[in-house]
Every structure is written in C-alpha cells, then in structure tokens.
C-alpha cells in the first residue's frame, strides 16, 4: 500500500519561504509523475504543480515563478520550494500523482500571515 507523508509546513510571513517534503513509500516512485496540491479553507483542492520522472515541471499560473518542484528518486521524496509567499498561498498542501491515483496523505498546513 502506497503511503504519502507530507511535512515542512508552518507559519511564515508574507514574502518568506518554505520547503515542503513528500515521502512516498510502497511504490515504484521513479515511474510516477508527482504533483503538489493545496486546499484553502472553503475551497476545492487545486493542483499547484507537477514533475515528471525525468524532472519536467508544469505550474498553475498563481504560483509560476515563485514555486519550484524537485524530486529525489533514490529517496522517494518530492519537494516543493515556495518563495515570495503570499497570504493567498495559505492552505493545506498535499502530494499525489496528477491523476490522484494514491490515497491522500494528511497534508501539511502552510499559513502565510504577518
């Protein structure tokens, strides 16, 4: 059974940075494209960005130029580097495949506030 464990969230001031991690167990991680999602209070979960097994990325317009995805196929971890954070980035962040194939993890809370 595949498990997704997100970590690295916290409280940060506007303009600050955070790095999230998603550890994937129980899967042939290197064959999967992975994505980061977020869900703000009262809103639907949205796809923030994706990374293919060979490292190609795609982004939602709202985070383009501020967020970066990377992955370590040996460690089975995908990262989300978030810079220039804005209050509207406040949400619970999750990882999954672009097709949402795996069961969701618990997510990690990111709060951007002064």
| pLDDT confidence of residue 32 | 87
Whose tokens are 């998603």? That residue is 22
pLDDT digits (tens, 9 = 90+) for 11-53: 999 999 999 999 999 777 777 899 999 999 999 999 999 999 9
Q: CA 25 to CA 88: how far, in whole Å?
A: 31
Helix%, strand%, coil% for the chain, nearest 5: 5, 45, 45
């Amino acid at each position: 059974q595949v498990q997704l464990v997100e970590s690295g969230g916290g409280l940060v001031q506007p303009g600050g940075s955070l790095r999230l991690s998603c550890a994937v167990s129980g899967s042939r991680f290197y064959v999967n494209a992975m994505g980061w999602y977020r869900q703000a209070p009262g809103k639907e979960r949205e796809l923030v960005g994706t990374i293919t097994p060979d490292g190609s990325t795609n982004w939602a317009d709202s985070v383009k130029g501020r967020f970066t995805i990377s992955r370590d196929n040996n460690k089975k971890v995908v990262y989300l580097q978030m810079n220039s954070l804005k209050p509207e980035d406040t949400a619970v962040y999750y990882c999954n495949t672009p097709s949402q194939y795996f069961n969701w993890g618990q997510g990690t809370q990111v709060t951007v506030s002064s």
